[in-house]
A and B are shown apart, each in its own frame.
Chain A
Amino acid sequence: MPLDFPLFPEAASTMAGQVDALYIFLVVLSAFMSLLIGGAVFYCAVRYRRRSEDEIGSNFHGSILLEIVWSAIPLAICLLLFFWGAKVFFAQSRPPADALEFTAIGKQWMWKFQHPDGQREINTLHVPIGQPIKITAISQDVIHSLYFPAFRVKKDVLPGRYTTVWFEATKTGSYHLFCAEFCGAEHSKMGGQVVVLEPEEYERWLAGGAAASQSPAEAGAALFEQLACVTCHLDGDGGRGPALRGIYGEDVTLNDGRTVVVNDEYLRESILTPAEKIVAGFQPLMPTYKGQISEENVFKLITYIKSLSGGRETPAGGAVDESNVPQDAATDAATEDTP
């Protein structure tokens, strides 16, 4: 049994300091309040202990002023914490535009990661230090949750919908990677390590591994041919389906008048359930690829389609009907309006 156990987790990301600051503030506040109330109870219990059998307490039993004071102070502190916590949360929810894009697939009971250049690994994730890393994740079966305690970030990984988590590591080393959402028999074994490397070491690690024969975009292009997507989605106008060059991140109008942003979630939906949201001017001709294409291959196709738009960045996430929702919130706002 290791006796020199830690009381505070390792802080290894740009987010960790912000979360720890909230935590320390709340710990101090809680200690103060607990001592204040505990002390008051103890003081009164001793000072006003019963001295004779038929003694009764005083008749002082109300004060509007006190009620206002002890309602207003907690309210003010709680509101402060709300705004502070929301600020940190919004930062946790919005990956920087220049983040390296990783993907993760959760399944009972393993994590499958893919690096931007196509390198793959299971239950271990190597990342470079000082570089924002964005992981777009999906589950093949039940709900999982990708949790990096040392980075203070966590996001549920859902079947049928993309979610994203991001972090920027600030300390090299090896840290825990957990599944935080109960997912069945081997839940506690569904995890491993995230290894933070210096950029050169990361390059060396990438080069040293079984080099991926193709990048995800190249693999996606091959699939695009193989699945015959190319017969309708021509590289120019006039196809039976919309042309895909340059569309990623743009708004498109649907045949029912709604507008959606072309992002990862919309592309995934259009591959698996194409009839849901048809672009204006096109017929619902495309067959569904649901059950015929793995989540890995959906990721590859999306990466390929993204590459047709010069790798421009928008957050992954759901299609958004309200065109006025700020871009960086599109991810989450959309997840509410699922079928």
Chain B
Amino acid sequence: MSSHTTDSSRSNYLNAAYGVKSWLLTKDHKRIALLYLVAVSIFFSVGGLFAALIRLELLTPEGDLVQPDVYNRLFTMHGVIMIFFFLIPAIPAVLGNFILPLMIGAKDLAFPRINLASFYVYVAAGILGVWALINGGVDTGWTFYTPYSSMYSNTQVTLVAMAGFIAGFSSIMTALNFIVTVHRMRAPGLTWFRLPLMVWALYATSIIIMLATPVLAITLVMLMLDHSLHLGIFDPAQGGDPVLFQHLFWFYSHPAVYIMILPAMGVISELVAAFARKRIFGYTFVAYSSMAIAFLGFLVWGHHLFVSGQSVYAGAIFSILSMLVAVPSAVKVFNWTATLFQGSVSYQTPMLYAMGFIGLFTIGGLTGIFLATMGLDTHVHDTYFVVAHFHYVMVGGTIMGYLGGLHYWWPKISGRMYPEFWAKVSALLVFVGFHLTFFPQFIVGYLGMPRRYHAYPPEFQILNVLSTAGASVLGLGYLLPIIYLTWSMRYGKKAPANPWGAVGLEWETSSPPPTFNFDETPVVTHEAYDYHHRTEDSRVA
């Protein structure tokens, strides 16, 4: 190809080629990121619709809006879609796909075809999931606990497990691509400890995906065999062990929590540095804390099984290891806060999301300590306290990070600025709506309301009404960006190469970037976020 010879106004990745085929068969990581953006947005909307129906049902204590069977399908499909088809791919496959090669000065990912394949594998899994949904759905909860899922549920367990199984390969392909790219394709001079922290976070996430996802795949295969052929691996009536499933499931699914949150932490490091115009505080500690979380995350799965009949001594070991994960998470929060100290802080929308993230993740992380404390977990396990906790981490953490990153890199992605006023309104709605939705759930959880309840005792109603009210505000907060970001693609103000005055290779190329990202391969001579050096030679450059 000869993209460098074309006229500059017609040489970006968006207008380099036209036609449906040029999008659907593209090998450009940036276009694939946009394909993912459309797909995850669709799944997010579907999952959000289920959440809306759940909250409507819970407005009243009687289970009066939908039948129990329908309610059980709603919360199951909400969880399956949000986790496997939105939270896991959202930041790596959309933002990571787009920004990783730009951040390291590469032309593309190491394996562009595998990248495209990963998208279609994801779509295939999604279509299978939707097909299963139309054909009756699944009612086991996203955790698929046996023997209910394997021997008792007559819903589409096998199909949905197959969808999860296939989606896993998409994750693995993306992770493999990221790992090889980070090892092999860094620009000259870009040593490991000059990498932006987003790259460290994506690298740590990719390692977790590569190591954990195969275990999920095997577990889901065993579940499918049990459900369809009644093999009895997890069926005590045939000598199987139902709790074994929980161990295998959480061996993947606890690390999966870090698959979802680590990339968001990477985004926050970028946002805090850019909007404080300051090198991130304690760079090496933040980088190593990602690796520490990735490592420790594999050793804590048993904290989901404190009341399962697991040995008390095993419980104690999982409890203490879970406590250790709190330390690298706290280190990150303290370092972000310290970065603001003596910074030059501005309050554009991405920074509002970053500050929101720090607040919400702090609460999400601290309530994780409640659950790692065994004597307390006995009471709150499987109640709304747990629901509130993981929504603070997943929604308050991952989605805040995702939206913050999407706004931050939107000028680079679309070549246009988003409308700042509406973006701030939406960030505020998300923050307020989020607290109103999920804070009451901590209280109702400690009161003892179990999760996955279609009907509940009347004294829990007020807190549930607050939660539903909050969900409406939150829903509006999520709807706005879909509207104004779409609008801005055509009508937004044209974005300069570096609208934030941020340091980073992605801001050195045009907005939107050319197909192969950089006209000349950049050479890196400084640490990440080195604002002082940039100022010194800005006149020269």
Taking beta carbons and an 8 Å cutoff, which residues of A are in contact with B? 1-3, 5-9, 18-19, 22-23, 26, 29-30, 33-34, 37-38, 40-41, 44-45, 48-51, 53-63, 66-67, 70-71, 74-75, 78-79, 81-82, 84-93, 108, 141-143, 145, 147, 149-150, 152-156, 158-161, 163, 176, 178-189, 273, 329, 332-336, 338-339
Contact = CB atoms under 8 A, between A and B. Distances in A.
B337 A48 contact: no
Contacts of A93: 312
28 contacts: A2-B459, A23-B446, A30-B370, A49-B344, A54-B501, A61-B279, A67-B335, A70-B330, A78-B323, A82-B373, A85-B319, A85-B376, A86-B374, A93-B312, A143-B242, A145-B382, A147-B450, A149-B447, A153-B379, A158-B243, A158-B309, A160-B236, A182-B141, A182-B145, A184-B148, A185-B68, A333-B311, A338-B243
Interface stretch (B172-180, B207-215, B356-364, B516-524): B356-364
Given A86-B374, A147-B448, A184-B152, A57 B327 contact: no
Interface string B310-334: 1111111001100110110011011
A109 to B, nearest CB: 10
CB-based closest 10 A-B pairs = A88-B375, A149-B448, A160-B236, A57-B278, A85-B373, A89-B374, A44-B340, A57-B343, A78-B323, A58-B342
Interface string B505-539: 00000000000000000000000000110010000
Given A155-B307, A180-B381, A336-B311, A143 B145 contact: yes
Contact of B455 (A38, A160, A189, A338): A189
Secondary structure at the B interface, as helix, strand, loop or mixed, is helix
B316 A86 contact: yes
B337 A23 contact: no
Contacts of B281: 60-62
Contacts of B379: 19, 23, 149, 152-154
Contacts of A82: 316, 319-320, 323, 372-373
A114 to B, nearest CB: 20
Interface stretch (B40-48, B189-197, B249-257, B461-469): B461-469
Nearest to A339: B239
Interface of B: 63, 68-69, 72, 139-141, 145-148, 151-153, 236-237, 239, 241-244, 276-283, 285, 306-316, 319-320, 323-324, 326-327, 330-331, 333-335, 337-347, 355, 358-359, 362-363, 366-367, 369-370, 372-379, 381-383, 443, 446-448, 450-463, 465, 501, 531-532, 535
Contact of B236 (A55, A87, A158): A158
Contact of A92 (B68, B362, B367, B378): B378
A335 B327 contact: no
Given A26-B376, A156-B307, A59 B236 contact: no
Given A62-B281, A185-B72, A332-B313, 13 more contacts: A6-B459, A30-B366, A34-B362, A56-B344, A57-B343, A61-B281, A81-B369, A82-B319, A143-B145, A182-B145, A333-B313, A338-B241, A338-B243
Given A61-B281, A160-B237, A182-B141, A22 B376 contact: yes
B489 to A, nearest CB: 27
B279 A41 contact: no
A75 B312 contact: no
A176 B381 CA distance: 16
Contact of B355 (A6, A41, A339): A41
B373 A26 contact: yes
Contact of B340 (A29, A48, A161): A48
Contacts of A58: 278, 342-343
Contacts of A150: 448
Nearest to B280: A61
B382 A154 contact: yes
Nearest to B331: A71
Contact of A88 (B145, B343, B374, B381): B374
Which of A33, A38, A48, A182 counts the most B-chain CB atoms under 10 A from its CB? A182
A331 to B, nearest CB: 8
B375 A92 contact: yes
Contact of A5 (B68, B276, B461): B461
Contact of B462 (A5, A78, A189): A5
A61 B283 contact: yes
A190 B153 CA distance: 17
Nearest to A188: B453
Contact of B277 (A57, A66, A189): A57
B343 A48 contact: yes
A215 to B, nearest CB: 28
Nearest to B141: A182
Contact of A187 (B277, B337, B453): B453
A154 B381 contact: yes
A147 B316 CA distance: 21
A181 B362 contact: no
A50 to B, nearest CB: 4
Nearest to A46: B345
Contact of B358 (A41, A53, A183): A41
B195 to A, nearest CB: 16
Contacts of A145: 307, 382
Contacts of B457: 176
A78 B236 contact: no
A22 B378 CA distance: 12
A92 to B, nearest CB: 5
Nearest to B145: A143
Nearest to A1: B461
Nearest to B354: A41
A62 B535 CA distance: 20
